[in-house]
Amino acid sequence: MKLVVSVMPRNFEEAQAIDASRYQEADVIEWRADYLDKNDILQVAPAIFEKFAGREILFTLRTREQGGEIELSGEEYVAIIHDINNIYHPDYVDFEYFGHQDEFNQMMDYSNLVLSYHNFQETPENMMEIMSELTSFTPKLVKVSVMAQTEQDVLDLMNYTRGFKTLNPEQEFVTISMGKIGRISRIAADLTGSVWSYASVGEESAPGQISLSSMHKIREILDED
């Protein structure tokens, strides 16, 4: 299980002020570029990629429809992703499949694609269909993050993940049950077959995240013989 931590600068000065040493225990750095104005993203990019040079980086442009901070047309969304990918070559690029299906054909040659679905209101009843559709494209990772309203929501998502991983052993999955009652899904990622778990340094990027220091301790305990 890799630990992913988000950085969410709101301007160039905040990006320059990031203390990279606070993120040393993270395995993957997620740059949430949606906290910036769309016209500032390419200007801020050099500071992010220089500060975390040599680290695995996930580029994420989370739109409001998927719980993020930016509103973009489909053309703008894809254009920014293309620019960042072609210039800086991040290890992973998040793509909101269900929000941009019309543009998905432009992403088919991406080998670093994280095909994602987010629902900050609920764990939908058609969760298996959603996971099945995302899995059918065999991206680098399938990512599903949904809000837990009940304990059963958490158990269902964990069970779905285990089932899909068993049926598709070559596909990597990242699944998260958000909210306080969903925290066990973050801790038990290895058990369910989820290869990443998201942690926080300071500000959370999603409800129910556990601090990086605590997650590192939990991982050490779980890895003990």
DSSP bridge partners of 6: 30
Structure token pair of residue 75: 């053309």
Of the residues 140, 143, 165, 180, only one is catalytic, namely 143
CA distance 182 to 174: 14
Active site residue 143: yes
- Residue of 2, 118, 140, 216 marked active site: 118
Quick check: is 89 catalytic? no
CB 177 within 8 A of CB 146: yes
Six-digit token string for 151: 């304990």
- CA–CA dist 194, 15 (Å, integer): 30
Tokens 């991983």 belong to 165
Q: What are 120's two structure tokens?
A: 């900050």
* CA pair distance 24, 27, nearest whole angstrom: 8
Point out the residues that are catalytic. 118, 143
